[in-house]
Amino acid sequence: MKRGIVIVDHGSKRDESNAMLERVAKLFGEKYSTKYDIVEPAHMELAEPSISTAYKRCVERGADQIVICPFFLSRGKHWKEDIPALADEAAKNFPGTKYFVALPLGVDGLILDLLEKRLSGINDNSFSEPLLK
């Protein structure tokens, strides 16, 4: 079974916001290329690629199992209802595939570390977007 990963955010009318998720998906794919060879970005609404488009791209790249990974903090309506419905609709076009929706980012020590990293920049008046290392 070959697995595809779809990292999905809400989607935005702002191109810069949508481009950020595409960068995250690209960097994630590069960093974990030995574990996940198919990684695609998707936006739940307002922008392409949609979940349906990303699902299709995964299948075209050989995936028969798709994991939808929400780039969300909590288990809200989008995680519980919207994303599964959109994934289910996409899966209907590919009957030989299965999909799963992963947990959102949630409360995690790494999130706390990231918050501290952002706050520590306040001390030196550095409010610009940091580069990923």
- Which residues are catalytically annotated? 10
Nearest Cα residue to 131 out of 20, 10, 13, 9: 20
> CB-based contacts of 11: which residues, under 8 Å, 6+ apart?
18, 43, 44, 45, 46, 47
Residues in the chain: 133
Cis check for the bond before 49: say yes or no (omega within 30 of 0): yes
- Please count the other Cβ atoms lying within 10 Å of the Cβ belonging to residue 4: 25
Q: How far apart are CA 83 and CA 33, in angstroms?
A: 25
